[in-house]
């Protein structure tokens, strides 16, 4: 009797082992199918899966994309990646318009596929990046810009993407605080020391403040004053009217100044203050020398200008100008957004 019992036990063990193997193979197959489906998921659905709110409770860095396109360009993605890498403990948020602007081309190209792959990478692999798709103009509600928007004046703009971005960034800064950056910025250093500050430039109009990088506490009184000033400053055919020119004039008024010297703490209305960053902080290579970023050879003097910069604003990056591999722009991208640059360059799309 012992031999049949042993055989019976062995049969049970083999059946158990076979069932375990089948179960394991089944789970692996399901995981493989799931990952393949994941790769094909559209950016819109990926966004809904990755709205990681509240995981990072420190510094808030944010970008705005107002076109309504599904994916970032490689150059825009470079800005987001560089900010996340230089500030790994910050929450980096990209606000994207979910309703496409009507007059934008719907033409699709192979470059779009590469861009969407890069956008997916930002969401999946860089933990401190999140993408939020909203009707971005809704963020104006509860601010002095809300009635201005509701009046329909903003719809008369000849530069709707620019004017919307200029308005929305100030509203989000006032409501949430943090650091706003243009998508054509490459961040090179941690930004946690920036607070209630804007940057000036050296090769433009004297006392000129750009609005491509701004850091403020939530509720700062200057931002409220600025939004009220923007309503009066708006000119539908002047793309700068809600941007640098509005910011510059508002600071002069709010802080009762005739000039805006760099590296200066301004004491302003309502017991508030503003710090004017020197050009080297954000705009070491200004718009008047934008060609420097795209030249075949890089001048050591231009590298040296960036030594003390928090970031570099890359002028003309949205124009589609070619970026030679030996150019200053390419070198910055290789150093500060390596994954984006590597992915896009291999497909000739940076």
CA–CA gap between residue 98 and residue 295 (Å, rounded): 36
Checking if the pLDDT of 15 tops 50, the result is yes
Average the pLDDT over 134-157 and give the result.
96
Are 105 and 140 spatial neighbours (Cβ–Cβ below 8 Å)? no
CA–CA gap between residue 149 and residue 168 (Å, rounded): 11
What average pLDDT does the chain have?
A: 85
54-71 pLDDT tens trace: 455 489 999 999 999 989
Checking if the pLDDT of 140 tops 70, the result is yes
Q: First vs last Cα of the chain: how many Å apart?
A: 77
Checking if the pLDDT of 116 tops 60, the result is yes
pLDDT at 328: 97
Q: Which residues contact 51 (CB under 8 A, 6 or more apart)?
A: 130, 131, 132
């Amino acid at each position: 009797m012992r031999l049949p019992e042993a055989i019976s036990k062995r049969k049970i063990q083999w059946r158990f082992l076979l069932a375990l193997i089948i179960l394991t193979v089944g789970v692996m197959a399901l995981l493989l199918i799931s990952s393949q489906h994941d790769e094909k998921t559209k950016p819109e659905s990926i966004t809904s899966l990755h709205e990681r709110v509240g995981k990072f409770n420190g510094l808030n860095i944010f970008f705005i994309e107002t076109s309504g396109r599904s994916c970032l360009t490689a150059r825009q993605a470079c800005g987001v990646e560089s900010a996340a890498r230089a500030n790994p403990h910050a929450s980096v948020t990209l606000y994207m318009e979910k309703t496409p602007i009507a007059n934008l081309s719907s033409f699709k190209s192979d470059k779009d596929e590469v861009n969407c792959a890069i956008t997916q990478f930002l969401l999946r692999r860089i933990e401190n990046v999140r993408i939020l798709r909203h009707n971005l103009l809704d963020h104006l509600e509860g601010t002095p810009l809300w009635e201005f928007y509701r009046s329909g004046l903003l719809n008369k703009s000849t530069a709707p993407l620019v004017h919307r971005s200029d308005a929305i960034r100030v509203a989000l800064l006032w409501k949430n605080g943090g650091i706003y950056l243009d998508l054509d910025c490459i961040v090179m250093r941690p930004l946690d020391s920036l607070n209630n500050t804007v940057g000036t430039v050296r090769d433009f109009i004297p006392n000129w403040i750009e609005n491509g990088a701004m850091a403020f506490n939530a509720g700062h009184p200057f931002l409220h004053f600025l939004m009220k000033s923007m309503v009066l400053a708006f000119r539908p055919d002047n793309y700068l009217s809600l941007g640098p020119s509005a910011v510059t004039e508002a600071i002069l008024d709010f802080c009762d100044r005739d000039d805006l010297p760099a590296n200066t703490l301004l004491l302003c209305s309502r017991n508030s203050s503003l710090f004017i960053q020197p050009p080297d902080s954000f705009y070491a290579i200004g718009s008047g020398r934008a060609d420097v970023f795209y030249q075949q050879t890089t001048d050591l003097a231009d590298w040296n200008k960036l030594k003390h910069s928090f970031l570099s604003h890359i002028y003309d990056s949205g124009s589609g100008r070619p970026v030679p591999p030996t150019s200053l722009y390419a070198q910055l991208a290789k150093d500060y957004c390596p994954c984006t640059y590597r992915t896009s360059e291999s497909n000739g799309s940076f």
